[in-house]
Structure 1
Amino acid sequence: MRASPLPLLLAASVLTVLAACGAEPALDAPAASAPVVAGKKINLSPEQNRVRTAKVAAIAGKVPKEIAADGKLTVGFSAGGAPPLVSPATDDTTLIGVETDLAQLVADVLGLEFTPQSSSWENLFLAAKSSKYEAVFSNVTVTEERKDTYDFATYRIDQLAWQVPDNSPVKAIKGPADIAGLRVSVGSGTNQEKILLDWDKQNRAAGREPVEILYYERYGDVLLALKSGRVQAYFGPNPNIAYNIAVSGGSRIVGTFSGAGPDLQGLIAAMTKKGNGLVQPLNEALNTVIENGTYQQVLERWGLANEAVPESRINPPGLPRQPAS
Structure 2
Amino acid sequence: MPMTTLAAVAALTLAGASACGGGGGETTGATGGTALYDRLPDAIKEAGVIRFAGDSHPPYRIVANDGKTVTGIDKEMQDALGKVLGVRTEISIVNGLPAALSGMLASRYDAFNGPVKDTAEREKQFDAIVWMVSRTSYLIPKSGSAAVKSAGDLCGKRVAGTAGSIVEDQTKRLSDWCAKQGKPAIVFIGLADTNGTILAAKSGRADAAGMTESGAIDAMNKEKDAFTYVTQSDEQGAGIDQLAMLVPKAGGLGPVMLEAFKEIFKNGEYQRIVDKYGLKNVAVDEPKLNTAAVR
Q: TM-score range by the shorter chain?
A: 0.7 to 0.9
- Asked which structure has the greater CA Rg, the reply is 2
SS in 1 for 2:288: coil
| C-alpha displacement of 1:113 | 1.6
**Distance in 2 of aligned mates of 1:112 and 1:224:** 37
Indicate the structure whose relative CO is greater, using CA pairs within 8 Å and at least 6 residues apart.
Answer: 1
| C-alpha displacement of 1:144 | 2.2
- Identity among equivalent positions (%) equals 22
Q: Indicate the residue corresponding to 1:180 in structure 2.
A: 155
SS in 2 for 1:309: strand
- Going from structure 1 to structure 2, the CA distance change for 1:271 and 1:192 (only over 3 Å counts) comes to same
Q: Indicate the residue corresponding to 1:77 in structure 2.
A: 54
SS in 2 for 1:236: strand
SS in 1 for 2:171: helix
5 Å matches for 1:88-237? 88-89=63-64, 91-121=66-96, 122-166=98-142, 168-174=146-152, 178-201=153-176, 203-204=178-179, 208-237=183-212
**Distance in 2 of aligned mates of 1:281 and 1:84:** 26
**Distance in 1 of aligned mates of 2:176 and 2:283:** 33
**Distance in 2 of aligned mates of 1:307 and 1:318:** 21
Using the size of structure 2 for normalisation, the TM-score is 0.79
Q: Judge conservation of contact 1:74–1:133 (CA < 8 Å) in 2.
A: yes
Q: Comparing 118-127 with 299-308, which one deviates more in the overlay?
A: 299-308
Residue-by-residue CA offset, 1:247-271 (whole Å, 9 max, x unaligned): 313111122458xx544x2222211
Could you list the runs of 5+ residues in structure 1 that have no partner in the other structure?
1-47, 321-325
Structure 1 residue corresponding to 2:32, chosen from 54, 60, 78: 54
Q: Match for 1:88: what amino acid?
A: V
Using the size of structure 1 for normalisation, the TM-score is 0.72
- Going from structure 1 to structure 2, the CA distance change for 1:266 and 1:87 (only over 3 Å counts) comes to same
Structure 1 residue corresponding to 2:44, chosen from 29, 54, 67: 67
Could you list the runs of 5+ residues in structure 2 that have no partner in the other structure?
1-25
What is the aligned residue count?
264
Q: Judge conservation of contact 1:267–1:318 (CA < 8 Å) in 2.
A: no
**Distance in 1 of aligned mates of 2:294 and 2:219:** 26
Q: Match for 2:129: what amino acid?
A: A
Larger strand share, 1 or 2: 2
- Going from structure 1 to structure 2, the CA distance change for 1:297 and 1:206 (only over 3 Å counts) comes to closer
Matched, 1:296 2:265: no
Residue-by-residue CA offset, 1:163-221 (whole Å, 9 max, x unaligned): 212254221115xxx43211121211112212223443554577542322223334334
Q: Judge conservation of contact 1:100–1:137 (CA < 8 Å) in 2.
A: no
Q: Match for 1:148: what amino acid?
A: K
